Structure 1
């Protein structure tokens, strides 16, 4: 009986790791934009990939629908930018003069994940 419980626990842990860190959600290649709305819900950012032009400003509207504490902050690695998101409200974040590169944006626990591609 202990073996079955341990196996079930290991399978559940593997599923959690796959869901949050290893799965790649299929999305169409985004086109460059100056403004985008991102829905924060059910453990994901939608859309999870945004493309912008280097040297230009990008305005992002984060609509937080998920009451999970993990969803309360978005952090842009490599841009030294973060913002707290209120539940049930839209928070606007403007990134000015973006340098070319690929930047991850995540929640503080890195369970919600997205990518900002600047060309």
Structure 2
């Protein structure tokens, strides 16, 4: 009986890892360098998950939250000290001004949703 429970637990852990980190890695779309982009928040991912921007220019991001999961309620830009709450079924605009060059992660507050902002 305990062997069955351990096998089921291991399978569930593998499924969670696959769902949040491995399943969509080949489907990620990157946007060209832009000053404005729309990011859909749905099914555990940001689409597109990679956004290219120009250094020193303002960037406007529109987050279209379709996922009602509590994990999707906030976006955090690591290294930029910016975070914003996202309402379900609405589009929230985040404006980033005078971006320094570099690579910045944006995630949900639990870091399950993952995205990258590449500033050249």
TM range (shorter): over 0.9
Name whichever of 37-46 and 9-18 sits farther off.
Answer: 9-18
- Secondary structure at 1:63 match in 2: strand
TM-score (norm 2): 0.92
Aligned partners of 1:28, 1:5: CA distance in 2, in Å? 38
Q: What are the ranges of 5 or more consecutive residues in structure 1 without an aligned counterpart?
A: none
User: Which residue number in structure 1 is paired with residue 114 of structure 2?
Assistant: 113
Question: Aligned residue for 2:89?
Answer: 88
Displacement after TM superposition at 1:29 (Å): 4.3
Say whether 1:7 aligns with 2:10: no
Aligned mates of 2:35, 2:96 — CA distance in 1: 10
> CA RMSD for the aligned pairs?
1.4
Superposition deviation, residue 62 in structure 1: 0.3
Give the equivalent residue in structure 2 for 1:18.
Answer: 18
TM-score, normalising length: structure 1 = 0.93
Give, in angstroms, the shift of residue 2 of structure 1: 2.0
2:70 is the counterpart of 1:61? no
2-structure distance, mates of 1:29, 1:90: 20
The whole-number CA distance in structure 1 between the counterparts of 2:20 and 2:69 is 15
Per the alignment, residue 33 of structure 1 pairs with 34
Moved over 4 A (4+): none
Q: Where in structure 2 are there 5+ consecutive unaligned residues?
A: none
Query: Number of paired residues?
Result: 119
